[in-house]
Amino acid sequence: MAAQAVVITPRQDPWEMALRQYNVAAEFLPLKRGIREFLALPKRELTVNFPVKMDDGSVRIFTGYRVHHSTVLGPTKGGIRYHPDVTLNEVRALAMWMSWKCAVVGLPYGGAKGGVIVDPKVLSLDELEHLTRRYATEISILMSPEGDIPAPDVGTTPQTMAWIMDTYSMHRGYSTPSVVTGKPLSIGGSFGRVEATGRGVMLVTREAARTLGMQLSGAKVVVQGFGNVGSIASWLLADQGCTVTAVSDTGGGIHNPRGLDPRAVLKYKEERGTVAGFPGADRVTNEQLLELPCDILIPSALEGQITAQNAPRVKARLIVEGANGPITPDADEVFHGRKVLVVPDIVANAGGVIVSYFEWVQGLQQFFWTEDEVNQNLERIILRSFSQVMSTADEKRTTLRTAASIRAIQRVAEALMTRGIYP
């Protein structure tokens, strides 16, 4: 019998996704034409090409980006991504989503994002430091505690933020901890920041399940992407009584219908570099994992993972976006038609930027909070925001994604009109 051909669907352009989501929500708002156009466009974009000296003495040229989508509500806030597939359109989309994320949860920030086209896994620690310090220097014309505050994202870590903070401080002549967030505690980081995004995903999952009448105890959870967000969300949901049956990372996925111990899986990954091969579990691909039987699916990898092609085979009743943009607009329509509840990224994974805001405030004041204070304030803000989005969805008879975008766009538009159009 002839082998069946494998059809590879090209990944949808993230910027097209972001604009389509924006336009759907904007239709609900009485925006003037010029204002609607202005809010759709990035305020400024920086592309940098820079050399890095490698361990063997050679020099490689890397390309990086920093995009500011909006500065209406305050300084721009957004992570820095190190990944071989980084594109300018991806960074544009992520910056726009950051604008809406900050607005919908009530933070005084605009949205930004940065990225470097690089596979950080193939660089030595010294090479990563050299790349980071040079990239930080290149984008320092935009960066400041009052203007643009980076944070970690895919492929970057608290150590990356420490290098950026130190580089910026060397240029200023004094220590400036509030120029980045997500940095280590020893140099002004915040308690609870590492766990913040995953904790927010857990809190929103808990509330969304409650609206569906779904008991968390015994609910089967599948998590795509066992990085900072997915791993923490996994063990926090397990603590709530969920049964985590499958997880994955770039090396592949593992599945055990009787349940996995997320903390044991995380320890295995720290030792081996991947979850693949974890004892007592079957191996699955990232694509297969999305279609496994479960009650709750948490896509926490990259954007564009669930499309119109595989959405009909997703079996979850509740999907909570741990990643930014993992579901395409066409897939959203499939889920809406099937009455699958999707909690959008700009609400579900906002825990990271909420606690980044706390870290920034603490750094500016040099007055630090306890972990309990951080977690209590995170829970208060993210649950309030989820409740407001649910109310808007009911009122407008639309999806949670569109409702969240409506609230966010409306807040930015009102602020813009109140400030006025310069000059």
Alpha helices in 339-399 (DSSP H): 345-348, 351-365, 371-396
Q: Is 206 helix (H, G, I), strand (E, B) or coil?
A: helix
Q: Following CA atoms 162, 165, 170, 171 in sequence, which dihedral angle do they give, to the nearest 10 degrees?
A: 150
CA 252, 257, 263, 267 dihedral sign is negative
Identify whether the C-beta of residue 289 lies closer than 8 Å to the C-beta of residue 257: no
Active site residue 53: no
Binning the chain into helix, strand and coil, the percentages to the nearest 5 are: 50, 15, 35
Cα–Cα distance for residue pair 385/392, rounded to 1 Å: 11
Cα–Cα distance for residue pair 306/345, rounded to 1 Å: 13
Tell me how far apart the terminal alpha carbons of the chain are, to the nearest angstrom: 71
Cα–Cα distance for residue pair 282/334, rounded to 1 Å: 29
What beta strand segments (E) does 164-267 contain? Answer: 220-224, 243-249, 252-255
Identify whether the C-beta of residue 374 lies closer than 8 Å to the C-beta of residue 190: yes
In angstroms, how far is CA 345 from the centroid of its own chain? Answer: 7
Q: Is 306 helix (H, G, I), strand (E, B) or coil?
A: strand
Number of Cβ atoms within 10 Å of the Cβ of 273: 12
Identify whether the C-beta of residue 331 lies closer than 8 Å to the C-beta of residue 311: yes
Give the CA angle between residues 119, 42, 103 to the nearest 5°. 95
Catalytic choice (77, 101, 113, 220): 113
Exposure of 157 in the CB half-sphere (CA atoms within 13 A): 7
Cα–Cα distance for residue pair 229/208, rounded to 1 Å: 18
261: tokens are 């111990």
Number of Cβ atoms within 10 Å of the Cβ of 240: 16
227: tokens are 């990085």
87: tokens are 């594109």
Catalytic residue IDs: 113
